[in-house]
Amino acid sequence: MRTLIGWCSALLLNFSVSTSSLAVDIGQQGDNFLVSIDGQEFALYDTGKDNARPFFRNVRAADGTIVSRPISPPGGDHPHHTGIWVAVDKVNDIKFWAQEGRIKNRAVEVVETGSNPAVLKVKNDWLNPNGEVVLKERTTICIFENRLLIYDIRFTTGEEPVTFGDTEEGFFAFRMADSIREEATGEIVNADGLKTAKGCWGRQSNWVDYSGQVEGRKYGVAIFDHPLNFRPGRYHVRDYGLFAINPFGEHDYTEGKLPAQPVTLPAESSLELQYGMYFHPGDVDAGNVARVYQDFLRKTESPTKGQQEIQYRSSADGTVQPAMFYAPKRDQKVPLLVALHTWSGDYKQDDHEECLQWCIEKGWVYIHPNFRGPNRNPAATGSELVIQDIEDTVTFASQHANVDPSRVYLVGTSGGGYAALLMAGRRPELWAGVSAWVPIVDLESWYYENKADGDKHWREIANSCGGPPDASKKVKEQYAKRSPITWLKNARAVNVDINAGIRDGHVGSVPVSHSLRAFNKIANEPDRLSEEEIAYFVQEAQVPDHLMYEITDPSYGDKQPLFRRQAQNVRITLFDGGHELIPQAAMNWLEHQRQVESLQQEIAN
């Protein structure tokens, strides 16, 4: 996910590892691991053999002063607050923060030592009160000589889904020495200039800094949020010295202003999160916290400078969904391209690689979602979950990049063309242009066409819709509901470009009748093709004589258009080819599209 796993190893290769006198060393001491910087102790990683979870204890500033609270001090509050730790309540309703469930360390690997950064990889199992594994945690910790820690946290489910409930009790945390707390000498400020525990608690911000005195000297710690986490975290910062960031408490942190938004990981899936913690001398300014936060972002950039794997929460069912994402650094607003994978593909498919490269060269934002993966089951194949997942990617991209809302584009091929036309009909208000290539338009028709041809997809369609089309009225309704042809009348309010190779259905799997009927559904009646004309295109893989005219479009290269018709905001092109995408033609057309106010007014009405 967004190169998180193995990220620190990539960092070691790409960020000029230092082996100077300020190298970071990690040495094993019994079951635990001592981290030293420039030969001086920094912190001890306690694997939790005698505790309910692993954590860092005895965290020291550069001069050796301990800035963390002792573990379970006599008469101290909240004995479950332990140094630097990761935990949260309500994981399948088990309170791991309150230590009602155990987080058991299984292994610690010292990946790099005597370097800058040094790297630990830890394997922890989150156990229910019966000792059964609920969740697996694999965390990579990079420790830099300036006392910046970067945590890459990956949770993986087993055969059962896991739900993170809505709670303020979590997640990536530090408990500071009592003299630093706000009740004593502490000062708290966030990246937006808000101050005090009361002012910063429950807020989202790039960072929060908490500083105060130990024996007359000032020390501070900052927590950094990563912009590509599935959701911005909220800070659980208290005047008594607790300091944490938590992405799982939308209801609790807003005191009920927002609804509870639990996050569910489906079986055999993962959630990845990334945070930083920085220990510094002095206050927020003396510690250069704003500058170090930018350094944190640079250190966590993808080494390829291309797309990164991200995750976002589906607003339909609360599950975490993956996508590939690219966002250029631009002050001005730029277009967004949403690219949709093929029928049997997923978000890692590279069929739109040329579209991605176009976006990189032009400075566009790009996102390639999973929308429930291959079209083989009811959760995929044009479901309500699919519709919302694709819409949610637009929201995610708009929150994480400077997107021009009047230039949001959609492109898809085959099954992606199917989903693109479905979105044109179901969510026309989102798009300035939709480019659909060799799309499936009518699932019932395609079911029978596939079965007649002996292709495999008819079984996948039946599995998605509940059976063959004639199984029952309810099943037949599913075919219609999941078919773009049912919704395309709504696409009259968006610019749509439909393309198919004229030999598709002969050398490919989707007859051109699907594209032609999609055009007919959007176009006004005088501009539509007759059923006789459609039949001729399908049977002969040629243009009827009375529809022939010369067309030249350089963007199609050697696969020139053989037939084209424009009607209002929809265009159909049959080109000299088969079941394929011509990226240059798709992107060239999309680049010239803008949301049309008159068309958007139709949607509003």
Q: How would DSSP label each residue in 222-272?
A: EEEE-TTSSS--EEEE-TTSEEEEESS-HHHHTTTSS----EEEPTT-EEE
In a domain, 118, yes or no: yes
> Residue 4's pLDDT is what?
41
In a domain, 396, yes or no: yes
Residues 194 and 320 in one domain: no
Q: Measured between alpha carbons, how far is 435 from 338 in angstroms, rounded to an integer?
A: 10
In a domain, 39, yes or no: no
Give the DSSP H or E segment for 338.
Answer: strand 334-340
Whether 440 and 417 have beta carbons less than 8 Å apart is answered as yes
Q: Is the pLDDT of residue 21 over 60?
A: no
- What percent of the chain is modeled with pLDDT above 90? 88
DSSP 430: G
pLDDT, average across residues 406-415: 97
Q: Measured between alpha carbons, how far is 208 from 230 in angstroms, rounded to an integer?
A: 19
Q: Is the pLDDT of residue 51 over 60?
A: yes
Whether 271 and 311 have beta carbons less than 8 Å apart is answered as yes
Domain ends where: 249, 278, 300? 300
In a domain, 469, yes or no: no
Categorise residue 51: left if φ over 0, alpha if ψ from -120 to 50, beta otherwise: beta
Domain ends where: 241, 268, 300? 300
CB neighbours of residue 64 within 10 Å? 9
In a domain, 6, yes or no: no
Residues 109 and 258 in one domain: yes
Give the DSSP H or E segment for 199.
Answer: helix 197-200
Tens of pLDDT, residue by residue over 339-391, are: 999 999 999 999 999 999 999 999 999 999 999 999 999 999 999 999 999 99
Backbone angles phi, psi at 75, to 5 degrees: 75, 5
- What percent of the chain is modeled with pLDDT above 70? 94
Please give the model's pTM, rounded to 2 decimal places: 0.86
Q: Measured between alpha carbons, how far is 170 from 242 in angstroms, rounded to an integer?
A: 10
452-467 burial, b for 16+ CB within 10 Å, e for fewer?
A: eeeeebbebbbebbbe
Sign (positive/negative) of CA torsion 87, 90, 95, 98? positive
Domain ends where: 300, 324, 359? 300
pLDDT range class, residue 598, cuts 50, 70, 90: low
State how beta strands 570-575 and 403-413 pair: unpaired
Q: Measured between alpha carbons, how far is 126 from 339 in angstroms, rounded to an integer?
A: 37
Whether 538 and 505 have beta carbons less than 8 Å apart is answered as yes
- Structure-model confidence comparison of residues 222 and 7, the more confident one: 222
Residues 524 and 425 in one domain: yes
Backbone angles phi, psi at 432, to 5 degrees: -85, -30
Tens of pLDDT, residue by residue over 187-209, are: 999 999 999 999 999 999 999 99
> Residue 323's pLDDT is what?
96
Number of residues written out for the chain: 605
Q: Measured between alpha carbons, how far is 106 from 296 in angstroms, rounded to an integer?
A: 28
Q: Is the pLDDT of residue 3 over 90?
A: no
CA-nearest of 87, 125, 124 to 108 is: 124
The number of distinct structural domains making up the chain is: 2
> Residue 76's pLDDT is what?
73
Residues 227 and 295 in one domain: yes
Q: Is the pLDDT of residue 19 over 60?
A: no
E-assigned strands of 89-214? 102-112, 118-127, 133-143, 148-156, 162-164, 170-175, 187-190, 207-214
45-55 burial, b for 16+ CB within 10 Å, e for fewer?
A: bbbbeebbbbb
Q: Is the pLDDT of residue 13 over 80?
A: no
Residues 420 and 352 in one domain: yes
Give the residue numbers spanning the domain of 429.
306-442+483-592
Q: Measured between alpha carbons, how far is 338 from 586 in angstroms, rounded to an integer?
A: 12
Q: Is the pLDDT of residue 7 over 80?
A: no
Whether 158 and 215 have beta carbons less than 8 Å apart is answered as no
Q: Which two tokens stand for residue 382?
A: 């044009």
DSSP 529: P
Tens of pLDDT, residue by residue over 553-571, are: 999 999 999 999 999 999 9
pLDDT range class, residue 303, cuts 50, 70, 90: low
Residues 150 and 75 in one domain: yes
Q: Is the pLDDT of residue 259 over 80?
A: yes
Whether 403 and 333 have beta carbons less than 8 Å apart is answered as yes
In a domain, 191, yes or no: yes
DSSP 64: S
Burial of 526 (0-12, 13-18, 19+ CB in 10 A): exposed
In a domain, 16, yes or no: no
> Residue 75's pLDDT is what?
63
Average pLDDT, the chain: 93
Residues 340 and 243 in one domain: no
Tens of pLDDT, residue by residue over 89-135, are: 999 999 999 999 999 999 999 999 999 999 999 999 999 999 999 99
Residues 337 and 276 in one domain: no
Q: Is the pLDDT of residue 1 over 80?
A: no
CB neighbours of residue 66 within 10 Å? 16
Q: Which amino acid is at 108?
A: V
Whether 434 and 424 have beta carbons less than 8 Å apart is answered as yes
Residues 208 and 351 in one domain: no
DSSP 525: G
Strand ranges of the sheet holding 55-57, from the earlier edge strand across to the other edge? 24-29, 32-37, 40-46, 55-57, 84-88, 170-175, 242-246, 234-237
Residue in the block written with tokens 């968006």? 494
Residue 438: CATH number of its domain? 3.40.50.1820
In a domain, 344, yes or no: yes
pLDDT range class, residue 603, cuts 50, 70, 90: low
Residue 218: CATH number of its domain? 2.70.98
Whether 374 and 346 have beta carbons less than 8 Å apart is answered as yes
Tens of pLDDT, residue by residue over 144-180, are: 999 999 999 999 999 999 999 999 999 999 999 999 9
Per DSSP, the three-state class of 474 is helix
Q: Which amino acid is at 295?
A: D
Residues 278 and 347 in one domain: no
Q: Which two tokens stand for residue 153?
A: 């946290």
Residues 111 and 213 in one domain: yes
> Residue 344's pLDDT is what?
95
pLDDT range class, residue 237, cuts 50, 70, 90: very high
Residues 230 and 316 in one domain: no
Angle at 155 between CA 151 and CA 157, to 5 degrees: 175
Strand ranges of the sheet holding 308-313, from the earlier edge strand across to the other edge? 308-313, 320-326, 365-369, 334-340, 403-413, 433-437, 495-501, 570-575, 561-567
